[in-house]
Amino acid sequence: MAGHAAPHSSKLTYDDYVTLPDDGRRYEILDGELAVSPSPLTRHQQVSVLLAHAMLGWVLERALGTVLTAPCDVILDKTTILQPDLLFVSAARSSIITRRAVEGTPDLVVEILSDSTAARDRGVKMKLYARYGVARYWIVDIDARTLEIHRLHAGEYVLDAAHRADAIASCDVPPGLELRLAEIWPG
């Protein structure tokens, strides 16, 4: 159209990301777009710690790799920087863990749903994790007391299992982990 300039569109990059304030919020850049979330609530943090504890013991005893918790940057490319609640990188792929971040695709990413992040975790973040080849994606719903295990297949996630309440979830990533869900829910 004559007289109208095309809208200016520039994607944010890692260089922009490192200039964001350290103010207690969680900043992520999702395919060049800034996403901001408040700090997680205490129940979210309790589940995160208990889940990390359960995973970490298994992984360390068997030297399977590394478990990391938020805040930890995962740089999938210069315009996609995420902070999953938990992640696992196998020992064979440990070279993607650098001093500043996980610079590449983790084997497993875990998101714990919050009111402010649930739509993003099930939407754009799930699509980005699939696009960049994260083999397993877990979604933890504290209110429903469920763990969904999604497996990457042909570039999309398929639900492998949905475990409820006090079930024992058998996992192949990390290999052989049997997670007793009753141990991760806050009292």
Hey, where are the domains in the chain? 40-183
pLDDT value at residue 139:
98
pLDDT value at residue 86:
98
pLDDT value at residue 1:
39
Averaged pLDDT in 10-residue chunks for the chain of 187 residues: 50 94 91 93 95 96 97 96 98 97 98 94 98 98 97 97 95 95 90
Q: Which one-letter amino acid corresponds to residue 90?
A: S
The tokens for 122 are: 């099930």
User: CATH classification of 40-183, choosing from 3.40.50.300, 2.40.50.140, 3.90.1570.10, 1.10.357.10?
Assistant: 3.90.1570.10
In what helix (H) or strand (E) does residue 43 lie, and over which residues does it extend? helix 42-61
pLDDT value at residue 24:
83
